[in-house]
């Protein structure tokens, strides 16, 4: 059974008893419709990965209107704004990403019916942007001065081939961030504190090539070498804890016109992931050893030309592990319990939190939707049928607010729950 430390429990209870915090929690519920309307507004401003400029410009104006200082777009395209605290506490980052997985021309409107909003990208991660704005309204309305500074960031290039690029740029340029909160999870009951690291590669196999019959036996075959490599990889065993995975997701060689030819080149693409950087490194070595062995076997079988190979790194996602009893995780757990939501610990994840975890910054990924049943959990994420459950959706904002107050502390009342920050 999960047990929260007495220190964190006492600080949480005290924090939640502070009048301005209690009033802010009420305000968030009353402000729910404003948050939903901003979510609907933002989703209509399409923002494919790497092309987030229009949505970024709107977020910049909204940050300014809500009183953030030094609002700007940084070199990574991220929208950054500061809400200054006492100057004596930690610097806390809270962020959601601007981009969606959809190309321009996908979103044609927002439909609201049966307790849901319907639009591609309505949840991931447009809802997080609306939540950032809702949090700012709650802080401002109740004149909350935090112990630490809070940096609000709308990040770019989180999805797909963006490779968490905006977050990487921001943290590389801002080494004074002490604590990081990410909002990018469908179900607020799920707490993500482990960061799954992963790599995706393209490997090319090369040979001479020739006629499938006339040149047979005179040369080694790149496609056969690739097949040998895939067969070896398919037989790997990896640990279930820490969870580790591998997948050859693409195999290509030859051309349609060259169906009777020995191809001169074959290509495979694969990705592998682990919640442990050490296991990831072991698997990387094992995969490339298998590829080298496969090329050697194919070459030795025919004793003619040599199969050679090269590799290209397509994407690299950093990661790492954290203890389930870090103060942030315990604070998030208490927040959910206070809302009568049963917390669920998720084994790893791939979000912007990965970048912070890999740098040793205390971090957690929080949810954006209240999803107490299967109908509200099945939100068709990353599909054109994506939907967002709006009934009691304010609870996700309340959860983020509670964790943010524990992380930043309240001037004159509490320090950060993360000791030493």
What confidence tens digit (pLDDT) does each residue in 180-235 have? 999 999 999 999 999 999 999 999 999 999 999 988 998 999 999 999 999 999 99
H or E element: which one contains 226? Answer: helix 222-234
pLDDT of residue 309: 98
Task: Transcribe 283-344 into DSSP letters.
Answer: HHHHHHHHHHHHHHHHHHHHTSS--EEEEEEEEEE--B---TTSHHHHHHHHHHHHTT---E
Q: Whole-angstrom Cα distance, residue 376 to residue 390? A: 9
Mean pLDDT of 168-179: 98
How sure is the predictor about 420, in pLDDT bands with cuts at 50, 70 and 90?
A: confident
Domain layout of the chain by residue ranges: 6-195+319-408, 197-317
- Nearest CA to 371 out of 357, 398, 391 is that of 391
Task: Find the range with the poorest average confidence among 204-208, 243-247, 314-318.
Answer: 314-318
How sure is the predictor about 304, in pLDDT bands with cuts at 50, 70 and 90?
A: confident
- Nearest CA to 182 out of 328, 394, 76 is that of 328
Q: How far is CA 25 from CA 134, 221, 328, 338, 418, in A?
A: 11, 66, 19, 12, 22
**pLDDT tens by residue, 88-147:** 999 999 999 999 999 999 999 999 999 999 999 999 999 999 999 999 999 999 999 999
pTM exceeds cut of 0.85: yes
pLDDT of residue 336: 98
Structurally, what CATH architecture does the domain formed by 6-195+319-408 represent?
A: 3-Layer(aba) Sandwich (3.40)
* Whether CATH 3.40.50.2300 fits 197-317: no
pLDDT of residue 115: 93
How sure is the predictor about 378, in pLDDT bands with cuts at 50, 70 and 90?
A: confident
Question: Within 10 A of 159 (CB to CB), how many other CB atoms are there?
Answer: 23
pLDDT of residue 292: 98
- Given a cut of 80, is residue 313 above it in pLDDT? yes
Task: Find the range with the poorest average confidence among 205-209, 248-252, 279-283, 347-351.
Answer: 347-351
Residues near 261 by beta carbon (within 8 Å), at least 6 away in sequence:
209, 210, 211, 212, 254
Share above pLDDT 90 across residues of the chain, in percent, rounded to a whole number: 88
Task: Label residues 89-127 b or e (16+ Cβ within 10 Å = b).
Answer: bbbbbbbbbbbbbbeeeebeebeeeeebbbbbbbbbbbb
pLDDT of residue 381: 85
Question: Within 10 A of 405 (CB to CB), how many other CB atoms are there?
Answer: 29
How sure is the predictor about 373, in pLDDT bands with cuts at 50, 70 and 90?
A: confident
Ordered alpha helix ranges (H), 97-150: 126-141
Mean pLDDT for all residues in the chain:
95
Answer whether 344's CB lies under 8 Å from 190's CB. yes
Answer whether 344's CB lies under 8 Å from 337's CB. no
Residues near 88 by beta carbon (within 8 Å), at least 6 away in sequence:
147
pLDDT of residue 321: 87
Q: Whole-angstrom Cα distance, residue 338 to residue 332? A: 10
**pLDDT tens by residue, 18-61:** 999 999 999 999 999 999 999 999 999 999 999 999 999 999 99
pLDDT of residue 256: 82
């Amino acid at each position: 059974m999960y047990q929260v430390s007495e220190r964190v429990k006492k600080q949480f209870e005290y924090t939640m008893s502070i009048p301005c915090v209690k009033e802010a929690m009420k305000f968030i519920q009353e402000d729910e419709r404003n948050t939903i309307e901003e979510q609907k507004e933002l989703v209509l401003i399409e923002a494919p990965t790497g092309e987030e400029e229009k949505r970024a410009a709107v977020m910049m104006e909204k940050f300014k209107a809500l009183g953030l200082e030094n609002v700007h777009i940084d070199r990574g395209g991220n929208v950054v704004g500061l809400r200054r605290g006492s100057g004596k506490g930690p610097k806390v980052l809270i962020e959601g990403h601007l981009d969606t997985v959809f190309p321009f021309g996908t979103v044609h409107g927002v439909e609201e019916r049966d307790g849901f909003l319907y639009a591609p990208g309505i949840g991931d991660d447009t809802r997080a942007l609306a939540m950032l704005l809702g949090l700012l309204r709650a802080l401002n309305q109740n004149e909350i001065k935090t112990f630490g500074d809070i940096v609000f960031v709308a990040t770019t290039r989180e999805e797909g081939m963006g490779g968490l690029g905006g977050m990487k740029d921001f943290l590389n340029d801002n080494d004074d961030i002490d604590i990081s909160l990410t909002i990018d999870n469908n179900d607020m009951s799920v707490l993500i504190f482990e960061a799954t690291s992963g790599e995706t590669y393209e490997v090319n196999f090369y040979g001479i090539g020739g006629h499938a019959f006339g040149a047979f036996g005179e040369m080694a075959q790149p496609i056969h070498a690739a097949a040998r490599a895939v067969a070896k990889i398919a037989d790997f065993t990896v640990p279930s804890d820490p969870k580790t995975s591998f997948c050859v997701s693409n195999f290509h060689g030859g051309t349609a016109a060259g169906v009777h030819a020995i191809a001169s080149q074959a290509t495979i693409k694969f990705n592998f992931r682990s919640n442990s950087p050490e296991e990831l490194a072991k698997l990387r070595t094992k995969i490339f050893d298998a590829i080298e062995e496969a090329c050697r076997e194919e070459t030795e079988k025919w004793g003619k030309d040599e199969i050679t190979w090269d590799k290209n790194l397509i994407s690299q996602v950093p990661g790492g592990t954290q203890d389930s009893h870090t103060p942030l995780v315990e604070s998030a757990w208490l927040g959910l319990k206070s809302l009568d939501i049963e917390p669920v610990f998720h084994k790893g994840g791939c979000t912007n939190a990965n970048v912070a975890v890999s740098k040793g910054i205390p971090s957690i990924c929080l949810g954006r939707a209240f999803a107490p049943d299967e109908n509200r959990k099945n939100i068709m994420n990353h599909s054109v049928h994506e939907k967002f459950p709006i009934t009691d959706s304010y609870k996700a904002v309340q959860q983020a607010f509670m964790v943010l107050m524990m992380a930043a502390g309240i001037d004159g009342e509490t320090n950060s729950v993360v000791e030493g920050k």
